[in-house]
Structure 1
Amino acid sequence: MRALIITFGTRGDVEPYLALAERLQSEGHEAVLCAPEAYRTEAARSGIGFAPAATRMHELVRDGMSTAAGPMDVARAARQMTAAMRDSLVEQWDAAQRVEPTIILSHPKALGGLHIAERLAIPFAASLPLPFLTPTGEFPIPFMTGRHSERWNRMTYQFNRFTAIAYGGMINRFRRRQLGLARESRFSDFLHRDGAAVPVLYPVSPAVVPRPHDYPESAHLTGYWFRAQGTAEALPDDVSAFLDGDGPVVYAGFGSMGFGRHAADRGRTVLEAVRAAGARAIVARGWGGLEAEQADDLLVIDEVPHELLFPRVSAVVHHGGSGTTAAGLRAGRPTLICPVLGDQPFWGERVRALGAGPEPLPLMKMRADSLTERLTDLIGNAAYAERAATIGEQISGEDGTGRAVQILEEIEAT
């Protein structure tokens, strides 16, 4: 098998696919990661192939998130990405022509994978670390929350047609000009190809999201895709020394979703709440999500591998990105999610429902008193720690990348 794996987004949208590519290589297959240039070095370190795509889109998202004052600024920045998206489609096609894959696996945000596979007449599988594409009556599309009827829940997945409606003109120009394919309807969806169901691989643990009873055979919850143990380097000395100090340590980081203009205010809020809760904190800056002044009871970091850091802290507080949520639960750590948008409220509700943490605290509503209350509960409630540890054991017993490789082998063989 020669797999072209196309993805785009923040680290949580890339790390699982890097893990899958590494596992494919270890199982004797070839794998090429097609992603923004920022991830080339990591791919090279892992010995897997790399093809750049969506680098400009990645830069626009990163710069927008680190300077935006709120969701409206992000929306305005998104309107500036049209040219970058067109370039990304061409870059994906260039990569496919160089790689000559026998199968393509693509994150839907990359847009081009399904159409390129059609042009090359090779198997295709969709994948994203969120149960977003496949309709179910058990919960609404994970950009929405609340309890609803099964019928209403299933209807919410019509949102997935938005991509074809919003980007249909761009996609059809790409199909016609680059791929030489006929146009397709703007009302098409991502789940069918020539009338057949498109396989979808969700790198999500069934221990966190039990498989819905009405999922079709084409939908697979494989378990999380983690890189092999020992891939990450050792923790920096200052981080290890801080962790060896007295008292509980809370990790706090809001990734790319904090909106940089308020980063210092959030840092002061976190420090005040952590102190009031009788703990210390390691604060991750992310893409402008948090900023704080270093202190005896607060360590400010840029990026540290979650697989090394999370097992050594008492609890984790974050925005609810799928990758960070997975890492915290895998480490068996009680979790408080402070969601902003997108799928983050979904993960916050899953953590609460699993008993691994308290009710989510939306980041925009976070104040020192409300965060102090949640942190005190998070650290002091032994039930959260016990439940998180149980879930962590279940996740650690899964082989998500191994199951994914098996499924891809079956898809290519048919």
Structure 2
Amino acid sequence: MRVLLSTYGTRGDVQPFVALAKTLKARGHVVALCTPTGFRGMVERHGIPYAHMDNAVLELTEAVLRAPTRAEQRRLFKGFGAIIRAGLEDEWRAAREVEPDVFVYHSKALGSHHIAEKLGATELLAMPLPLTRTREFPVPILPFFRLGGWLNALSYRVLSLANAFWAGATNDFRVKTLGLAPLSRFADPMRRADGSEVSALYAYSEHLLPRPADWPAQAQVTGGWFLDEADQWTPPNELQAFLAGGAPPVYVGFGSMGAAHADARASAILKAVALTGERAVLTTGWGGLKVQALPPEVFMLESAPHDWLFPRMSAVVHHGGAGSTMAGLRAGKPTVICPFLGDQPFWGHRVHQAGVGPRPVPQKSLTAERLAVAIREALSPRVQAHAAAMGERIRGEDGTERAVHLIEQEHSRWRHRHKRLGA
């Protein structure tokens, strides 16, 4: 197979695709990854051919996440339309260069769905969160966890409403660049123009969120796609010394989230750590934590590979991104989720339901006292035992191998279908 992977967003949106690309390449397939140029070094460091996407997408995403107010975020969002339209052209150029017969894409890579139609290629949506309609839980980007069967299923209509936001750019791309007919502004992104359902691969563990019984065969949960980088990273001597100097610390980091109120957030975290009597490692990410002076019980660094750092922690506290959630649970660590937005509350709810962490502590209500209570609960013997058992089960999965097997199956079915139809 010739496979083009496409994704954009933060590191958590790109890293799993690099892991998948490595397994595809190891299985003998031709593969390239189209993603913003800010990630080109990471892609090529792992031996994956890079397909160009302009960095404006990444830069604007970072600017929005760093914006100190919602008003500033809204102002920045006004520039997304033109950048998205340019990104669609980047995906098209990548497709013409790679000449793929299979597209595997994140929902944020808006062009792949249409380009696959144009080329008559196999396409698979790939996500770390479920977007296929079910009666078992609402669409994860909504802040509701129990609406009841038919309302749960109805909530997935929000995907078509969200698609309408980009419909002007995607229809302009379809008509002017691809020569295809425009689609309804509220077209379901989970369906092709002929009405058939797009196959979907969901890169998380069924041990955390079991596959719904009412899903069609086209929707499968593969297990997490982990990009192990521990052997490519040299920890600072100071970090090594800190870890060796006492009991395993608690990890606290919010990745690309939370530039606003970074000082107040860091102050609450330091107070919470002091209240628990635990040691801690803090990561600054894109500015979610700002600290002027650190107590001796706390170490701060910009970032570190999760597969190196998390196994050395006693518990992990983070924003609840799908990648961070799976990495912490894979390490067998109790997890405290302090969600900001999007699907993060959903994963916080699932972690609590699975018994591997306390109830999530939303950022809007984050205080030192509430965080200290959550950390104490996470470190209780009961939660530690559940997290250790979950970690063992997750480590027994091979998400990228299963994903590649499913991609191969889908491509075989697609070719057979087109042969039968005389395409």
Q: TM-score range by the shorter chain?
A: over 0.9
Q: 1:205-216 to 2 correspondence within 5 Å?
A: 205-216=205-216
- Is the 8 Å Cα contact of residues 54 and 85 (structure 1) preserved in structure 2? no
User: Cα offset for 1:230?
Assistant: 5.4
* 1:76 paired residue number: 75
Residue-by-residue CA offset, 1:63-85 (whole Å, 9 max, x unaligned): 2222323x443333222211111
C-alpha distance in structure 1 between counterparts of 2:163 and 2:277, whole Å: 51
SS in 2 for 1:8: coil
Deviations along 1:230-257, whole A, 9 cap, x unmatched?
5542433222221112134111011122
In structure 1, distance between residues paired with 2:367 and 2:86 = 42
**TM-score (structure 1 length as normaliser):** 0.96
The residue type equivalent to 2:394 in the other structure is: I
CA displacement, residues 78-100 of structure 1 (integer Å, 9 cap, x when unaligned): 22211111110111111111111
Letter paired with 1:255: G
Is the contact between residue 232 and residue 305 of structure 1 (CA under 8 Å) also seen in structure 2? no
Residue 20 (str. 1) matches residue 25 (str. 2): no
Partner of residue 170, structure 1: 169
Percent sequence identity over aligned pairs? 43
The verdict on how the C-alpha distance between 1:370 and 1:163 changes in structure 2, with shifts beyond 3 A counting, is closer
| Cross-structure match for 2:307 | 307
Kindly state the Cα deviation for residue 164 of structure 1 after the two structures are TM-superposed.
3.2
Change (3 A) 1:160 1:33: same
State the superposition RMSD in angstroms.
1.4
Opposite residue 217 of structure 1, the aligned amino acid is A
Change (3 A) 1:211 1:72: farther
Correspondence 1:219 to 2:233: no
Residue 108 of structure 2: SS of its match in structure 1? helix
Q: Gaps spanning 5+ residues in structure 2: where?
A: 414-423
What does the per-residue CA deviation read over 1:97-148, in whole Å, with 9 as the maximum and x for residues that have no partner? Answer: 11111110111111100101111111111111001x2100110011222322
Report the residue type matching 1:150 in the other structure: G
Paired with 2:95 and 2:147, the residues of 1 have a C-alpha distance of 42
Mapped to 1, the partners of 2:20 and 2:223 lie a distance apart of 12
The residue aligned with 1:235 is 235
8 Å contact kept, 2:230–2:307: no
Matched residue SS, 1:98: helix
* Counterpart amino acid of residue 89 in structure 1: L
Show the counterpart of 2:400: 401
- Indicate the larger mover: 284-293 or 338-347: 284-293
Q: Is the contact made by 2:229 and 2:305 (CA closer than 8 Å) also made in structure 1?
A: no
Provide the C-alpha distance between the structure 2 equivalents of 1:92 and 1:362, rounded to a whole number of angstroms: 36
TM-aligned CA distance change 1:170 to 1:229, over 3 Å? closer
* 8 A Cα contact 1:319 1:338, kept in partner: yes
Matches for 1:322-341 after TM superposition, within 5 Å: 322-341=322-341
Query: CA 1:3–1:231 in structure 2 vs 1: closer, same or farther (change >3 Å)?
Result: farther
Count of aligned pairs: 410
Contact 2:276 2:376 in 1 (8 A): yes
Cα distance in 2 for partners of 1:164, 1:358 equals 34
Deviations 1:255-314 (A, max 9, x none): 1221x2311211111111101101111111111111123331111111100000000000
Which range moved further: 312-321 or 184-193?
Answer: 184-193
* CA distance in structure 2 between the aligned counterparts of 1:72 and 1:346, rounded to whole angstroms: 25
Partner of 1:95: 94
Aligned to 2:135: 137
Quick one: structure 1 residues 354 and 186, their matched pair in 2 at CA, closer, same or farther if it must change by over 3 Å?
same
Which segment is superposed worse, 136-145 or 339-348?
136-145
Distance 2:77 2:106 in 1: 18
Counterparts of 1:231 and 1:139 in 2: how far apart (Å)? 38
Map 1:104-119 → 2, pairs under 5 A:
104-119=103-118
Q: In structure 2, how many angstroms separate the alpha carbons of the residues matched to 1:336 and 1:305?
A: 19
- Where 2:18 maps in the other structure, the secondary structure is helix
Shift of residue 229, structure 1, vs aligned partner: 7.0
Q: What per-residue deviation string (whole Å, max 9, x for no partner) do you get for residues 195-218 of structure 1?
A: 222100101110011010101000
Do residues 155 (structure 1) and 154 (structure 2) align?
yes
Task: Measure the CA separation in 2 of the matches of 1:280 and 1:58.
Answer: 34
One-letter code aligned to 2:249? V
* 122 and 20 in structure 1: CA distance in 2 versus 1, 3 angstrom threshold: same
| Cα distance in structure 2, aligned partners of 1:26 and 1:241 | 37
Distance 2:170 2:16 in 1: 26
Residue 284 of structure 1 corresponds to 283
Query: Structure 1 residues 391 and 62 mapped into 2: Cα distance closer, same or farther (>3 Å)?
Result: same
Contact preservation (8 Å) 1:333, 1:389: yes
Distance 1:81 1:68 in 2: 18
Could you list the runs of 5+ residues in structure 1 that have no partner in the other structure? Answer: none
The whole-number CA distance in structure 2 between the counterparts of 1:77 and 1:354 is 38
Aligned partners of 1:283 and 1:300 also within 8 Å: yes
